[in-house]
Structure 1
Amino acid sequence: MTIPMPLNPVQVPLEGINLIEASAGTGKTWTISGLYVRLIVEQNIPVESLLVVTFTEAATQELRDRIRSKLVQTLESFETGASDDHLIRGMLDQVSDNIQASRQLSAAIRNFDQAAIFTIHGFCQRILADYAFESSQPFDAEVITEQSALIQEVVDDFWRKKQADTPPWLIRYLFSKGVHPDSLLADIHSYIGKQHLDVEQPVLPGLDELHVHYLSAYQEAAATWQSNQVAIRDLLLENPVLKKNIYQPASMVVRLESLSDYFSTGLTTDEIALDLPKGFEYFTQEKLKSSVKKGQTVPAHVFFEHCQELFNAYVLLVSALVSAIKVLKVELLHFANNTLSQRKRARSQLYFDDLLNNIHQALHGEGGESLAQRVRSAYTAALIDEFQDTDPVQYAIFNRLFGNGDYPVFFVGDPKQAIYSFRGADIFAYLEAQQKATRRYTLNANWRSTPTLIEAVNQLFSRVDTPFIYEQIAFHPVQPAQTQREALTVQGDDTAALRFLYLAGEAPDENLSKTKAMEPTAIAVANEIVRLLGKGKATIGERFVTGGDIAVLVRTHDQADKVAHALRKRRVPCVQQMQTHVFATDEAVEVERILLAIQQPSRASLVRAALATHIFSGTSRDLQQLDEQDSAWETCVSRFYHYHQQWISHGFMSMFKALLSDVDAPQNLLALEDGERRLTNVLHLMELLHQAAHDHFLGMEGVIKWLGDQRQAPNSHDDWLLRLESDADRVKIVTLHKSKGLEYPIVFCPYLWGESQSIQYPANVVYHDPDRNNQAVLAMSVEKGSSTAEQAEKELKAENRRLLYVGLTRAVHRCYIVWGNMGSAATSALGALLPGVSRESLAPLVEASAGRIHVGDADITGHDWYTGPALADTVLMARSFTRALTPKWRVGSFSGLISGHEEARPDYDALDPGASAVTTTAPENVEEGDAGAGIYDFPKGAQAGSCLHHIYEHWDFTCTDRAALDDQVQETLQLFGFSDDWTPVVAENVEHVLNAALPGEPPLSLSRVPPAARVNEMEFHFSVEQLSAHGLMHAITTHAPELANKIGGIEFRSLQGYLHGFIDLIFEVEGRFYVADYKSNHLGERRDDYTALRMQAEMKHHHYYLQYIIYCIALHRYLRQRMPSYQYETHFGGVYYLFLRGMRAGTARGVYHDRLPEALIHALDKTLAEAT
């Protein structure tokens, strides 16, 4: 591979095809401006014939400004005969006729409004407009900026046609797997209009034959089951030849119940389920053969043979169905591309992709050479900026127009910074141009960074032969353009521009998981920033460092939130500059809830949801008070009726402004940690909704629908990107992608130890086939480990290396990296360039750097606050203190920790009133006499929860007298104000609950627990020296990381004093004690809505994990005090959260079970007992 020559912008010949590799900070825009001026002066090209193309509107405007300034500067120099700019000085030396040159420059400035400086789409649009006849385009075509409605129309048409030709069983299967028009569109949306992609065609096996075979196998197995259930159960439940650790009786009871349900549904062939029940393989011959004890005979029954046949038929059918879904996606993509083009052409419309595709087709079709000649006659030279972000279609256009070498063309870009593949950019198009270029140049003088930082980055990327994986993308060390620059000095130290903050685990070789490392990384960054901003500690030249000098570069929004939270806790002003649409924010959800309540103020649930938003700042206590005071509720609802009428009478903007003022929304939002961000989002949404109402003549329903549509599928309008709340002297938190092209005095790259991007399989991937000249290929639903996946991962790994380069080249003075043996550091992009992840492995790198690289400890223990810059010498007056102080020592409770209300009370699912309505689609109220629908329709809320709790508290679990149970239930229903009609429904549910299988060893059911072996509503108090969210999560993360992942994150005010609460039920079976909590939460209308995943989501939403941790500590301390021989492993059975509506006799459905590790119990007990 040839090495590019260093570019001399004064001497480079203005001819042929030239490729300029402009490394980060090497003056790309300055070079383009200089070449533009030389073409004006030396070749007398008018501005309207000198084509300049870049890829964004912002870059186009910057180029226009810089080029015009260069023209003015050059003209002044030609008039005076002198210049400080070495390029202009070179031109002065080379040009023989300064007067003629000045005339040409003056004409260029005078006519600069006609300059041909475009985005790529703008250029194509100009060609289509100027040469409509030659390109076979309609003369009056309208360029549209949004085509989502048209795409949806096309997708719906495709689905309707497919439904007509597809058997009902397959349609049902597709819907059961979440395959429907919206999901298909989400899968293929980003590939619509990408005509350069070659789409892999999956093979579709004969579905009908496989389906018939599956149905036949099902019917044989079902018939055998129906006539042999008892014998089959006996063979599996009490068979001594089977390994009990595999065929556990309790587990098999659950599997047999599921099997019975499965075989009872297929009354006709149309009703046969296409999903095997969980654990079906336990009934197959293969599983039985592998599970018998040594020397024993495999249990024999024709049913197991039929199950094996059914299992095999199912595997074949499912494999074929997976292929069928791939085929469906490919067919939709082809249909969408063809149909969209036809419909837009019929309507004389062009979308952005059409501008490129239509020019490409015109240039490469019949008459293409004639069109190319016409364009060449209009543009006699071209400068193509940011060329690394091109794609095959764009490059094919430029190559067709200017690839013959008759005109001077300069392709300018940096393949090391090609990081936008997710937008369609294709590095392989750049590499093709690289091969065809007449001459290749490189810019090798870095004007951005200090010499020590430049040399440190050079050293890092020069450690390996191919740092960017592909040999065609080489790393060429750059030289500092300025050897003397003002220095960054921190407490007198101006060395080590590249600094590693090393984060070590508790053990020397411990690998910190991603979960455990995320927060400490953010803390380390925040503490170092506080140190830098400390008064007098850090200076750049003669001035102090401010927050505005610092940028933190991250990959994900989660990382940004972690850093922002750590900075705000230390009172460091910061701003998140993220490429996020405002419709994807929590504020968009809140605004939609408020508007729905205004549209339908008679619906109490909608009004409650609006009041619970941060905009209204309503709390659960406020809502409870409204429930208790009819007059207050009526006043509240009347306000929503007023907003409804105001919207109709005066429009959206007038109404919403009044609402924000009435509820003190700015004050409510600014009181939150990220309040300025939230308020900015709300005001931005208000403007966009007003604009939509105005532009599209939308009424109330139309505005709400428009908002909902944008929330579901936000488009790519730049106007929809989050606005900055304020960035004055604030630390900037920026994504690596957004930081490209920018520079900051000080940069932190905290999360390079985690891979920047990864593929989540099965996935749709675009890869380049090396056997087909790197043709871009789209493959649907690729599985991990395939050759396609390996090629896609190689390309992604290469892009991650390029993203790393972008991050490390943003800094002017100093770049910080948080590093350690954590996450995927060893296999990350940075890990590939370093000698290792251990601190010791970095020593040779530091030694070879001659002081340019430093490794220090990451500070995760500091708690210093940023106190701000020095205040002016003015008289200040303290504000009056009006807030009531909460004493440090207090009595707390679970409800107090999560809601701030300290009063403990029995938990009757009333902590979050109305929350269950979020997940149910049932009617809000059930009329009396309509109880036949089942326990799912039993009223929801605190009153219903109290009623059900009362029944279980007063009923003998071992009693089987149904008449007595009916009497108890009826009496309780009347006590709590419910209709007697619910008696059979509730009583039947009680029987199901008491006879449900409680997981564990040994298997349990509440029906085995006599009154003497249980305690109802056990009240407890236990002392707490110190309970904090950080200390609690540290113990959980250390000893139960899976539980920590489920919890996610919790925040509450630290507690010192006592914890007080009530445990619904404590019971004892065979010397082991258990905690149980009744939950009447409504998760849905079907049994399948009470799965483990749904229960886990409910547990997390209501912080039940924290609740049962507290309960376990309470019972642990109680038993330790009362039982001299108490041992946790021996006597503590675990926790059951009983979601009553979903429980069924003989099954574990609706039961959430856990048993905390003994190490966690002891750690928490110790944490609560120690003062800090």
Structure 2
Amino acid sequence: MQTLNPVTLAFDGQQLIEASAGTGKTYTITGLYLRYLLGLYEDAQGNQGEPLTVEQILVVTFTEAATSEIKDRVRSRISMAKNMLLGEHSSDELLRDLIAQLDDRQQAFNRLDMAAKSMDESAIYTIHGFCQRMLKQHAFESNMAFNLRFTLDESELHEQAVFDFWRQFVYPLRAEQAQAVLAHYSSPHSLLKELRALINRKQLQLQPHIDDPEAELTQLWHCQSEYLKALPQFKQALREGDFFNAIAASDIKGNAKPKHKSNLAGLAAFSDNDDTQLSLGAAKHSFSLWSAQSLEDPSIYKKNGQPFSHPLVVEFERMAQLSQGLGERLAQVICVLALAYVRRHVQSNKARTGIIAPDDLLSQLYDALHNDSDNQLQQQIRRQYPVAMIDEFQDTDPIQYGIFSTIYRPSDEQFTNLTMIGDPKQAIYGFRGADIFTYIDAKQQLGAQQQYTLAKNFRSATPLVESVNNLFSSHPQSFIFNDAIPYQEVQANGKDKALLYKGEALGAMDFVFYGSGAEVLSKEQGQSALAEAFAKRVHFLLAAAQQGDLLLGETPPCAGDFCILVRDRGEAALMKQALTRQGVASVYLARESVFKQPLAQHLYRLLAIIHGPYDERALRGLLAGPFYNFNSAQLLALSDDAEQWQQQLQHFAELKRRWYRDGALAMLEQLLWQNQLPQVWAEQGWDVERLLTDFRHLGEILQHKQLELDGTARLLKYFHQQLTRDSSEGDSAQLRLESDAQLVQIVTMHASKGLEYPIVFMPFAVNFRSASAAYYHHQGQLYLDLSKQQENLARAERERLAEDLRLLYVALTRPIYHCALGLYNLGKHKRSQLLQSALGYLLFPGAEGTENVRELLQARLAPYPDMSLTDADHYQSGENLVQENAAVERQVRAQRAVIERNWRATSFSALSFKHSDYHGTSHSGGDDEDHRLQQSLVLKQASPLAQLTAYDFPKGPGPGSALHDILEQISFRGVLAGEAQAMEELEQVITHTLHKYALDESWHALLCSWMVAIMRCPILESGLYLGQLQSDDCLVEMEFHLALNELDAQHFNATMISLFGYDFGLDFERVKGVLKGFIDLIFCYQGRYYVLDYKSNYLGESADDYNDEALTHAMNAHSYHVQGAIYMVALHRLLAARLPDYDPAKHLGGMVYTFLRAMPEGHGVYYRPFSVAEIDTLDGLFAKGAHYA
């Protein structure tokens, strides 16, 4: 390629400039920008070009930060040129050459002055910003709708479309079909996870190609039907025939692979059980293991052995053919169907709601340009922007390149020019859709005279530049695709400063080796050792700098001069912990979301517990976490001290009030200072600045969202969504810098692109992740092979290695003076994988093995004096730095004290657990969520889905808890009214709950209609139904703790008999302490307050089985009257504490028990009011216990 001279570059339509790292790409862009401003160029006919304005020079890049930087650099360059025109001296050679060409300096000054004043109007945009502007300006030509709402986050639209597909596709399936689908996609969430990376990649082609997925699915279901018909007879033939004996006695080797003999036990078990799918553990074969093709392989037989034959071999082949489509092929068909459905419905939903996303801007402008038969749109954009420069061109994709190659298609009608500038060696954003093959294609469409390179590195010292050259140029395929993007050595600019230790220069590129070299080490072993080694190295060098032994030129480096490059947050955390152990303060810089930080999970649990319903086990877990830091002794003491427990509950109640009144941030600030969290975290040796920054950042986001969203429940839902999504809230959620002090920096390699650091360490330089999905390119087209054929997986792995090599190049071109790379013989199961890493691939070209890596590395580095090899333990920790924050090790001592146990917390379940047996067998079908026996959750295969009712819903504690969870989270009024948002939330809650309790997704439709019907069922004699209740009139899952004073079973049973006329026969030891529990719902209606409890008991299969007599029997048989009495006392005490003029005769209602299965038919509601005398009796019993008379 030609070396670029930006002063003489010919603007002959299109040019490609390859700008290696540190060679002055932005400097070149601003220089070309000034040529356009000053008219220092020739048009296609060789005529002097017209000076252009800042509004006519289009510069496109990929991020807002990059646009801001280019604008600032252009402003600065214009200002410098103006000063030079006024006679000021400058060392800027390019500006001097440009000014020397000017005929009229005053006119040039005026033009630059006008440009400087107009920079706010300059056409320097992100690519999405440019497309949005063009679509708005040319709305008619592009068929762009008006008043569209822009969104950065399409995840909710994707989620909704996947859920819609699931309802329309999965719910109507027969049970055996649904089972086959669930074997691949266990829920809509698992399907969404598969589709998320595919939805917006419109250029992607799926393999294997399926012409008619619906027809193929029909065929698969037919095969399944035939398979299920044939299976019983096949199993019978196995059980009754001699196949097992015949195989065992055959000449097949016992250790032959695939394992025909050792898998016989699994086959025998399959023939005896009710399973419909043959599973042989890790074996890749099923029925095909005993097919003719498998048994014809001569390698499986003993020497001179006879081939095996049996009549059942034909049946094995038939069963294999019928069942094989229900494996990978079914998953592929579903994926294709779902992807098409989701794309279609996302687009229709966007059109219907007036939403547009970033990728839509690109595709709409692309379509408008390519559907522009008379080229009107192209011409209008060209007239507006006759010249354009695309920065970071290596990160483009086919759509983006298609836009600009169409606009700036060579034309004789007017002068236009497109300059593409980038570095293919730094194309590292394939995971975001950037496509290095688009760059290669663009390059191949240009002639050699249109391709240029920048040949001089202005960033790094000469030894470092030469080391990078040596590393990459000594491998003939250093970037895999070297035919298209060859490595071209760059010259150093001659920086002569070096990193000196006691007057001697350290090697520019140091390879830090751990291990013997012959021994293969796991990733965990190597990472742990190298993290410690590099932390000690940093500590040693910082101590040497403090003592004046380490110098950069003549100045000791500070902590901020050191940068540690890592691949991800896991490596960053490992390195940060190692540095902390050495007393070295560090800061982690990453372009990732604060919601991905560990503290976000703790904060979500805190808010969920404060919001309720309270969960005592979760609460104790919270107290042991970073916000309270209780040790085991404190938690034990809390369990046995009612007063202290009440104080803790009061603390949470205060936080809840503060949250509801003043917002999340105010509540979190109160918690921060009440619990003295900065001091506590410091005592634990934790990273206080990082934790405080994340704590306040999350608080600010939640405070802002609380103002947008209606209620704390929706805020919690939003918080949970952010924790589970791949991306969160754009720039507002990007991790903040925790300190502006001069600290050692830990930066991801991706985030370091475009930056520079004096000293760079890469402890985990040999780490890599093999390609898990078969994305690959072929003849310019991107494919995804869903079947993961070995050939295509190998292609994907090759492309993974190529991108890792580019990422390594980015990392190696960040340092200015010195870098060090960690290295060890990485592998698994004693097999080296070092050559699969980018660094191993570069260091050992042509190597077939790594028997002794250390010796190979010594030989590899020997010709290069600036590349050195040191052992990992070469640097030991130096003397203590000025300030050292050693981590505090805390151990919990074993508890040897005898703990007094006559005070305890108990519950209704505990009191009723020792129910006397003399009542005999309970009423038929008394199963509820309180029962210990879990019933079957399998959908009856004979029942068509349309005929299912609430009576068919599974029984047992899991399904009962699932119904409770749903009713706790939905809007009663919204569901009854059919409001869109409420119904969407209902469906999402049901989906999540079914997944949580491992219930079949086919219950979704029933649960939706059931919940609506429950909202219509009267619950009071006045005709009130749940759907009439406002959220402000309801308190969901209130936890209570009632003080108990020496309560015994005799007095308790006597009181219950006097109230309900029934001997519940409760048998419990005398108890003193607190009676705790949760009330499903407290609601207020016409000034009176009621408790309501949901019951999922199965009393029969018709409404007649839920008549008054049956409900009374169930209330007695399960001691629900006792439970309700306890709830009424809790409500009574709550109202006495909260209502200033509380009068139980006026304010207290009664207890409502709803037996949910019968509510769709208007039955299943049990109501009992309580008189003042009855409440006083119960209150006195709990307050005075055995002393109450």
TM-score by length of 1: 0.69
Q: From 10, 14, 17, give the equivalent of 1:13.
A: 10
Matched, 1:804 2:819: no
1:133 and 1:242 map into 2 onto residues whose CA distance is: 75
Distance in 1, Cα, partners of 2:199 & 2:750? 23
Query: What is aligned with 2:893?
Result: 901
Q: Which residue of 2 aligns with 1:789?
A: 793
Whether the 8 Å CA contact 2:185–2:191 is kept in 1: the answer is no
How is 1:410-449 mapped onto 2 (pairs within 5 angstroms)?
Answer: 410-437=419-446, 439-449=450-460
Q: What amino acid is aligned across from residue 801 of structure 1 in structure 2? A: L
Structure 1: runs of 5+ lacking an equivalent = 267-271, 872-878, 887-896, 907-912, 915-922, 940-973, 983-1172
AA aligned opposite 1:339: H
1:530 maps to what in 2?
539
1:775 aligned onto 2:789: no
1:1082 match: none
- Using the TM superposition, give the Cα deviation of residue 496 of structure 1 relative to its aligned residue in structure 2, in angstroms: 2.3
Relative distance call for 1:412 and 1:260 in structure 2 (3 A) is closer
Q: Would the aligned equivalents of 1:578 and 1:738 in 2 still touch at CA under 8 Å?
A: yes
User: What residue is the counterpart of 2:970 in the other structure?
Assistant: none
What are the equivalent positions in structure 2 for 1:271-350 lying under 5 Å apart?
A: 272=276, 309=315, 313=319, 317-350=323-356
Task: Tell whether 2:475 aligns with 1:464.
Answer: yes
1:848 aligns with 2:845: no
Superposition map of 1:1-150 within 5 A: 4-42=1-39, 43-80=50-87, 82-150=89-157
SS of structure 1 residue aligned to 2:530: helix
Deviations 1:881-909 (A, max 9, x none): 9x9x99xxxxxxxxxx9x53245899xxx
Deviations 1:315-336 (A, max 9, x none): 7524443112112112222222
1:521 to 513, 530, 543: 530
Structure 1 residues 925 and 484: CA distance shift in structure 2, 3 A? farther
- Counterpart residue number, 1:827: 836
2: CA distance, partners of 1:176 / 1:445? 57
Deviations 1:674-727 (A, max 9, x none): 343233222221111112112x22311111111111111142512222222225
Structure 2 distance, partners of 1:769, 1:284, is: 34
For 1:729 and 1:307, the matched residues in 2 are separated by: 74
The Cα shift of 1:225 comes to 7.5
Larger radius of gyration: 2
Letter in 1 for 2:836: T
The amino acid across from 2:867 in the alignment is: I
Q: Measured at CA, do residues 690 and 714 of structure 1 come closer, stay the same or move farther in structure 2, by a change above 3 Å?
A: farther
Alignment match, 1:754: 767
Taking the aligned partners of 1:839 and 1:133, their CA distance within structure 2 comes to 67
Encode CA deviations 1:1079-1133: one digit per residue, 9 max, x unaligned: xxxxxxxxxxxxxxxxxxxxxxxxxxxxxxxxxxxxxxxxxxxxxxxxxxxxxxx
Equivalent residue, structure 2, for 1:599: 611
d(CA) in 2 for partners of 1:422 and 1:866?
Answer: 43
Question: Superposition pairs for residues 539-938 of structure 1, below 5 Å?
Answer: 539-600=551-612, 602-670=614-682, 671-694=684-707, 696-716=708-728, 717-755=730-768, 757-760=769-772, 763=773, 765-770=774-779, 774-783=780-789, 785=790, 787-823=791-827, 824-835=833-844, 838-849=853-864, 851-859=865-873, 862-864=876-878, 866-868=880-882, 900-902=892-894, 927-928=913-914, 933=933
The 3-state SS of whatever aligns with 2:541 is helix
Q: Helix, strand or coil for the counterpart of 1:813?
A: strand
- Pairing 1:158-169 to 2, within 5 Å after superposition: 158-163=165-170, 166-169=173-176
Query: Structure 2: 5+ residue runs without aligned partners?
Result: 40-49, 211-215, 828-832, 899-903, 916-929, 937-955, 959-1048, 1050-1063, 1068-1189
Q: Distance in 1 between matches of 2:250 and 2:478?
A: 61
The 1:619–1:293 alpha-carbon spacing in structure 2 relative to 1, beyond 3 Å, is farther
Question: How far 1:458 sits from its partner (Å)?
Answer: 1.1
Return the offset for 1:673: 3.0
Structure 2 letter corresponding to 1:808: L
**In 2, Cα distance between the equivalents of 1:440 and 1:283?**
56
Question: Whole-Å Cα distance in 2 between the matches of residues 308 and 681 of structure 1?
Answer: 65
Structure 1 residue 369: deviation in Å? 1.1
**TM-score under structure 2 normalisation?**
0.68
Contact 2:287 2:317 (8 Å CA) reproduced: no
- SS of aligned partner of 2:630: coil
Once the two structures are TM-superposed, the CA of residue 98 in structure 1 deviates from its matched residue by 0.5
**Residues 628/60 of structure 1: CA separation in 2 closer, same or farther (3 Å cut):** same
* Offset, 1:863: 4.6
Code of the aligned partner of 2:893 = H
Conserved in 2, the CA contact under 8 Å of 1:141 and 1:349?
A: yes
Which position in structure 2 is the counterpart of 1:353?
359
How many residue pairs were aligned?
Answer: 876
Measure how far apart 1:864 and its partner are.
4.1
Report the CA distance between 1:180 and its aligned residue: 2.6
The 1:925/1:192 distance shift into structure 2, 3 A limit, reads farther
- What is the SS of the residue equivalent to 2:23? coil
- In 2: Cα distance, 1:793 partner to 1:253 partner: 33
> Using a 3 Å threshold, how does the CA distance of structure 1 residues 495 and 674 change in structure 2: closer, same or farther?
closer
Q: Which letter does structure 1 place at the counterpart of 2:767?
A: G
CA-atom RMSD in angstroms: 4.1
Contact kept, 8 Å, 2:587 with 2:744, in 1: the verdict is yes
Report the CA distance between 1:607 and its aligned residue.
1.9
Aligned position for 1:1146: none
Distance 1:252 1:52 in 2: 67
Amino acid at match of 1:901: R
Distance 1:65 1:153, change over 3 A: same
Residue aligning to 2:1174: none
Post-superposition Cα deviations, 1:38-60, rounded to whole Å, max 9, x if no partner, equal 11012410101110100001111
After superposition, residues 991-1070 of structure 1 pair within 5 angstroms as: none
Tell me if the contact between 2:425 and 2:809 (Cα under 8 Å) persists in the aligned partners.
Answer: yes
2:202 is matched with which residue? 195
Which letter maps to 2:475? V
1:254 to partner: Cα distance: 13
Offset at residue 938 of structure 1 (A): 12
Distance 1:927 1:70 in 2: 83
Runs of 4+ in 1 over 6 A off after TM superposition: 225-228, 235-247, 251-254, 276-300, 304-308, 923-926, 934-939, 979-982
Q: 1:219 & 1:570 partners in 2: Cα distance?
A: 67
Residue 401 of structure 1 and its aligned partner are, at CA, apart by 0.7
1:113/1:932 Cα in 2 relative to 1: closer, same or farther (>3 Å)?
Answer: closer
Question: C-alpha distance in 1, partners of 2:803/2:305?
Answer: 57
Shift of 1:925: 11
| Shift in alpha-carbon separation, 1:125–1:489, aligned structure 2, 3 A | same
Q: Residue 261 of structure 1: CA displacement?
A: 8.4
8 Å CA contact 2:631–2:892 kept in 1: the answer is no
Instruction: Specify the SS of the correspondent of 1:543.
Output: coil
Distance 1:308 1:572, change over 3 A: farther
Q: SS of 1:839's equivalent?
A: helix
Q: How far 1:243 sits from its partner (Å)?
A: 9.9
Helix, strand or coil: the match of 2:16?
Answer: strand
Structure 1 residues 932, 227: closer, same or farther in 2, change over 3 A?
A: farther
Counterpart for residue 1072 of structure 1: none
What is the Cα deviation at residue 380 of structure 1?
1.4
Taking a change above 3 Å as real, the CA distance of residues 632 and 474 of structure 1, as seen in their structure-2 partners, is same
For 1:791 and 1:630, locate their aligned partners in 2 and report how far apart those are by CA, in whole Å.
Answer: 66
Q: Classify the secondary structure of the residue corresponding to 1:123.
A: helix
User: In the aligned structure 1, how far is the partner of 2:679 from the partner of 2:311?
Assistant: 70
Which residue pairs with 1:387 in the alignment? 393
Match of 1:451 among 462, 465, 470: 462
* C-alpha contact 1:52 1:118 (8 A) present in aligned 2: yes
